[in-house]
Copies of this chain bind each other. A is one copy, B any other.
Amino acid sequence: MDLLPKKMSELAVILPSHLEKDTVVLAGICDSIFDGRIKSDLEKGERVLLIKKDGSILLHNATGTRPVQWQRAKAGKIVFTHNDEDNTLLMESYRPKTDESFFITYYEINFAAFIRMKEELSGGGETIGDEKDFVDQLVLHPDLIEPELKIIEREKEIDFGFIDLYAQDSSHNFVAIEVKKQNATLTDAYQLHRYIEFFQGQGEHVRGILVATHIPKKVLSYLKAHNLDGKSIPWQEIFPTVKRPSKLVRTRQLDNFWS
């Protein structure tokens, strides 16, 4: 849990002992090649490299959420080699599963460290508010979609997929409901359309409703043109208990937020 020498020849010797146990952080000037599902060449630039003990490799630029190049875990051994002639440090990794090669050439190391993370302190987590939770709420409160709607089945399987909710409306029509936690897209409307067509092919009349937190006009007009319904249910109506600060919450207010 400390700095490593910046000298490449020493790094090449020391790093192997850390790769299996620690998270390694390396910063410096490098160029690199990733070749696999795509071939990507990076010009010489300053970047931060993170290597985790499971073999995940993340090469980050100074900005941006995603790594600029990376390789997932379960590759072979990562090899570092120092080249005396031009004083470069090479990282090589090959992942047979996906036939991906990753090469990084360092021309300068400006920072090197390792972090030993205690096995027993890997806390889990919990999420609230994904699509499953959305559907859960709709099952509990089908009237949010339409008055007197009765849910009959969830994840009803038909030939070409699963229908999120299968229901019956106040006039005893059967209804296929496709639920999207995000803004609806045309693709979602097509999908619903295909489901309804399937029932038509079976000689059954089934209504279709697309439920989403927001449905753009273009999508609504497609639905209307094909005799389908759209119902937008704002996030707040589904998860009214989730509080959010309207601006940056200062530390002393955290307790309120947690409630």
Contact = CB atoms under 8 A, between A and B. Distances in A.
A38 interface: yes
A248 B76 contact: yes
A126 interface: yes
Contacts of A46: 117-118, 121-123
Interface string A35-56: 1111111111111101011101
Given A23-B48, A194-B190, A254-B103, A1 B42 contact: no
A129 B39 contact: yes
A218 interface: yes
A68 interface: yes
Interface in A6-36: 23, 25, 27, 29, 31, 33, 35-36
A125 B54 contact: no
Interface string A103-141: 100000011010101110111111111100000000000
Contact of A65 (B36, B53, B58, B222): B58
Nearest to A251: B81
* Of A56, A125, A187, most B-chain CB atoms within 10 Å: A125
A45 B118 CA distance: 9
Interface stretch (A144-152, A169-177, A239-247): A239-247
Contacts of A33: 258
16 contacts: A1-B27, A1-B110, A29-B121, A35-B244, A42-B124, A44-B121, A44-B123, A47-B117, A68-B125, A90-B251, A92-B248, A94-B245, A103-B257, A113-B113, A187-B190, A187-B191
Given A29-B121, A56-B64, A65-B73, 5 more contacts: A40-B125, A41-B127, A45-B121, A53-B62, A193-B194
